[in-house]
Structure 1
């Protein structure tokens, strides 16, 4: 097992332990309005991750937006193999949490570092263990 550079504690989440590359921005997240789910990229031009591919990434954003449609779209994305491995938010709403659970996407929020989007940067390699409420930084992206 790789030793963590840093461990960030959050609220206990849901899902399996996953490891992967971070895609991070201090922006919101709507599976309905921000994404091209067929292509696996952010498609809303004003989103900070516009045109970035989110598939199999550890997606790190400020807050989840949207309701029931966003939740079932997470399931659709997973069924097409076009989903992120994990969703990390400063704040998540219950509907998105339920959608992530249904889709089998690990999810965690409310971190002790304050702003998770400031702590994790695109390209970092992390391990997310929702049941323990932990994110382990394994490698830092080159800046």
Structure 2
């Protein structure tokens, strides 16, 4: 089991399958929020379902619209289990908190290069731990 430590964390302890890509994340422009899939054709996860998955991506994009869209997705039950980024902006952090989505950021290296696509991972924000199972 590989353990990865990070500096920024919030949310509940979760375990699930990771969708990994060195790409950005915008709830507004990258997702079909009704179908629960990545919809932007040029996104590296295009066509894949994000619902109930741990998303491991390079950076968060977008502003206020992305933040409230996370809450809308959570209300519909079509939401990622967790969001894991190399870097994140304060607005998306606020949106994840509002939607009760676990979020991590601030790794020493590129997190997208350290978690294999479709790996099962466990995240414990209180212990500052992301573990590959």
CA distance in 2, matches of 1:125, 1:6: 11
CA distance in 1, matches of 2:48, 2:76: 18
SS at match of 1:126: strand
Deviation at residue 111 of structure 1 after TM alignment: 1.0
Unmatched tracts of structure 1, length 5 or more: 139-143
Does residue 120 of the first structure (1) align with residue 93 of the second (2)?
A: no
Which structure shows the higher strand fraction? 2
Does residue 13 of the first structure (1) align with residue 9 of the second (2)?
A: yes
In 2, are the aligned partners of 1:68 and 1:95 still within 8 Å (CA)? yes
- Equivalent runs, 1:58-73 vs 2, <5 Å: 58-73=54-69
Cα offsets for 1:8-28 (capped at 9, x unmatched): 000131100000000000000
1:141 is matched with none
Cα offsets for 1:52-99 (capped at 9, x unmatched): 100000000000000000000000001101000000000000000010
Alignment RMSD, CA only? 0.7
Deviation at residue 131 of structure 1 after TM alignment: 2.1
Does residue 95 of the first structure (1) align with residue 58 of the second (2)?
A: no
Unmatched tracts of structure 2, length 5 or more: none
CA distance in 2, matches of 1:62, 1:18: 20
Question: Which residue of the other structure, out of 29, 43, 46, is the alignment partner of 1:47?
Answer: 43
CA distance in 2, matches of 1:87, 1:111: 13
